[in-house]
Structure 1
Amino acid sequence: MRPLVRTAALNGYVELSRSLGVDPHALMKRVGLDTADLAVQDRWISGPAAVQLLELSATASHHDDFGLRMAELRRFSNLGPISLVVREEPDVRSALGLLLRHEHMYNELLHTRLSERNGLATLKVDLQLGDTMPARQATELAVGAFTRILRGFLDTRWQPLSVWFAHGAPADPGRYRRLFGPGLEFDREFNGMVFYADDLDAPNAMADPQLRNYARQYFDAIAAAPRDTSVVDRVRELIEALLPTGRCSIEQVARSLGVDRRTVHRHLAHSDETFSSLLNATRMRLAEQVVASPRRSLTEISDLLGFSSLSAFSRWFREQFGCSPRAWRKQKGEQGPGRG
């Protein structure tokens, strides 16, 4: 399976695209994504699709610094749950080390290495795509994001000694120099940055010592989960993300994972599952959560679960639960919140 990234990797994409005269819906559709996917930051989407989207957007907008513009929109919270504990680490070395050790929790494409020698620290950023494809925009986004993270740890005026990119220089390097400083070079041996190793020993400006133990306890519970998400889990999560779009099919799920439908079927079969069984189980789980609440109309719930009509949803619900959704809602309401 191809690597996945959290939808937070595209934070600000829709707004930036529109500001540059680009239709985000059309471009996302071309790579098998949907703007509805971005509504929840903890969803996972195809990493190569996200990389391709950034390249298409740079071309369509005529801005070869599109990825860098995305980096400028980054928030520390975009890292997800790991951000809660990283911001409470006492110094930059421990904060950055934790971030790199657990980067699979927010981006499976990233392979970042930190080394120290002769008083200098080198942070190398690689994207492991599985295929040969252009990745200039995603690379610049990643290096730009790390620069902003280090500034959060240190000082808003902090700059690395040098920033290197393996690809060629842009037509206009102005935005690059404003973000990275004067030590910017292209056509070099790696993507990344060099800075004084002493910076790693600086206190983390964001840390609150009183919150560290609480943050650690929360994070340890999350990090204890197995590193490798199973194919079944990935398919289940994609089904839940795609249902409200009306495009939840085995073909769309396979495209999001970067494989063909037969590969998805084969992996699911190893776990004694089928796409239909996962689709039905996901719908049942969601239905149990939302039908009892009067805050949503049954028509809204029908759309949320990906049915073409309210009547189709009602027939399915009766088959699964033995009564109509209205009767289920009434029964749960009579039981009250603390009963049955």
Structure 2
Amino acid sequence: MKPLVRNAALSSYVEVSQSLGIDPRALMKRVGLDPVGLALQDRWISGAAVTQLLELSAAASHREDFGLLLAERRRFSNLGPISLVIREEPDVRSALELLVRYGHMYNEMLHSRLSEARGFATLKVSLELGEHMAARQATELAVGAFHGILRSFGMRWQPVSVCFTHRAPADTATHRRVFGPVVEFDREFNGIVFYADDLNAPNLMADPLLRTYARQYFESIAVSRDTTMLDRVRELIEVLLPTGRCSIEQVARSLGVDRRTVHRHLAASDETFSSLLNTTRTQLAGQLVTNPRRSLTEISELLGFSAPSAFSRWFRQQFGCSPREWRVRRTRQQPVAEG
């Protein structure tokens, strides 16, 4: 299975593209990405498609610094749930090591490695796309994002050097504005070199009292690198249901494969897309209908039904009663708190 990235990898893509006079939606459709889906930051999409999109955008805008312009707009929250934990780590070392270890939770094609030698720390960054393709913009976005994260820890931090394996652009103004005069090209690796002592700098954002809670939360949601295709499809079904576009074609597009590949992997687990869709819907429906604060019309939309009547018919087939009757029964079964 080809590597995926969260939609958050394209945070600010539309704004940057429009500011440079190019049509972001047309370019996204060209590589098979859904412009509307960008609003769903935690949705997983093809890493290769994102990489291709960045290269096309750089060419269309005649800006070799396109990826770096995106990196300048990165926020800590773009990392997703892991950002909550990193903010509470006591020092730069523990925060960066956590970010390196769990990088697959926000970007499966990004691989980073932190090493120390002779008083220097080196953060090497590489992209594994599953196929050969140009990746200059995605690489600069990744290195730029790491650089911004290190700067955000509150220290007066400057790297010793920022390295790229590709050639220098015709205009290096953006690179020098972002990285300073230490940016170098035609080097043997992509990444950042800085003093090892900087890793011991305290994280000025951290609240020691919150670290335990943040760690406990993160451990409850941490995803293994061994996540199966079945898990991925189930996650995508949950994300796509509220959009009304939950189809095997859309799931396959998000995974960067064809529908036959999805069918084959599900069959290996004795599942079909229809059975998994129905199981996921049933689980969600039981949770949502029990909540009296959600209207049945809203629940119908969240589960991807075209009309409340269609939802009611489906619900009766699954649960043997109407959604309203189910809600009443569940409410009566809840224990009454003692006064």
Farther off after superposition, 295-304 or 233-242: 295-304
Q: RMSD value over aligned CA atoms?
A: 2.7
- 1:116/1:17 CA distance change after superposition, 3 Å: same
> Structure 1 residues 214, 39: closer, same or farther in 2, change over 3 A?
same
For 1:29, what is the secondary structure of its paired residue? helix
Q: Which residue of 2 aligns with 1:215?
A: 214
1:66 corresponding residue in structure 2: 66
- Which letter does structure 2 place at the counterpart of 1:96? L
**In 2, Cα distance between equivalents of 1:179 and 1:7:** 24
Map 1:185-196 onto structure 2 (within 5 A): 185-196=184-195
What is the one-letter code of the residue matched to 1:77? S
Cα distance per residue 1:239-298 (max 9 Å; x no partner): 222223333221221122122222211111121111001111222233334446676665
Q: In 2, are the aligned partners of 1:32 and 1:252 still within 8 Å (CA)?
A: no
CA distance in 1, matches of 2:97, 2:62: 37
2:231 aligns to what?
A: 233
State how 1:40-51 maps to structure 2 within 5 Å: 40-51=40-51
User: What letter matches 1:214 in structure 2?
Assistant: Y
Q: Which amino acid letter does the alignment assign opposite residue 144 of structure 1?
A: G
> Where does residue 139 of structure 1 map in the other structure?
139
TM superposition shift of 1:161: 1.7
| Long gaps (5+) in structure 2 | none
Q: Contact (CA 8 Å) 1:6, 1:45: kept in 2 or not?
A: yes
Q: Does 1:274 align with 2:305?
A: no
Q: Which amino acid aligns with 2:57?
A: S
d(CA) in 2 for partners of 1:290, 1:121 = 49
Partner Cα separation in structure 2 for residue 29 and residue 247 of structure 1: 15
Supply the distance in 1 between the matched residues of 2:116 and 2:263 (Cα, whole angstroms).
Answer: 46
**Contact 2:162–2:191 under 8 Å retained in 1:** yes
Deviates more, 1:36-45 or 1:90-99: 36-45
- Residue in structure 1 matched with residue 175 of structure 2 by the alignment: 176
In 2, are the aligned partners of 1:152 and 1:205 still within 8 Å (CA)? no
Counterpart residue number, 1:107 = 107
Give the corresponding residue for 1:254.
252
Q: 1:298 to 1:18 in 2, by over 3 A?
A: farther
Displacement of 1:19: 3.1
SS of 2:122's equivalent? strand
Give 3-state SS (helix, strand or coil) of 2:41's partner.
coil
- Name the structure 2 match of 1:322: 320
Match of 2:20 in 1: 20
Contact kept, 8 Å, 1:5 with 1:46, in 2: the verdict is yes
* Match 2:240 to one of 234, 239, 242: 242
Contact (CA 8 Å) 1:5, 1:106: kept in 2 or not? yes
Which stretches of structure 1, 4 residues or longer, exceed 6 Å deviation after superposition? none
Residue by residue over 1:149-200, the C-alpha shift from the partner in whole angstroms, topping out at 9 and shown as x without a partner, is 1112253x53212111122222322111001111112222211121222212
Change (3 A) 1:333 1:61: farther
Contact 1:4–1:44 (Cα < 8 Å) also in 2:
yes
- Tell me the SS of whatever aligns to 2:234: helix
**Which residue does 2:122 correspond to in 1?**
122
Residue type of the alignment partner of 1:256: S
Relative to the length of structure 2, the TM-score reads 0.87
Question: Distance in 1 between the 2:216 and 2:250 partners?
Answer: 37
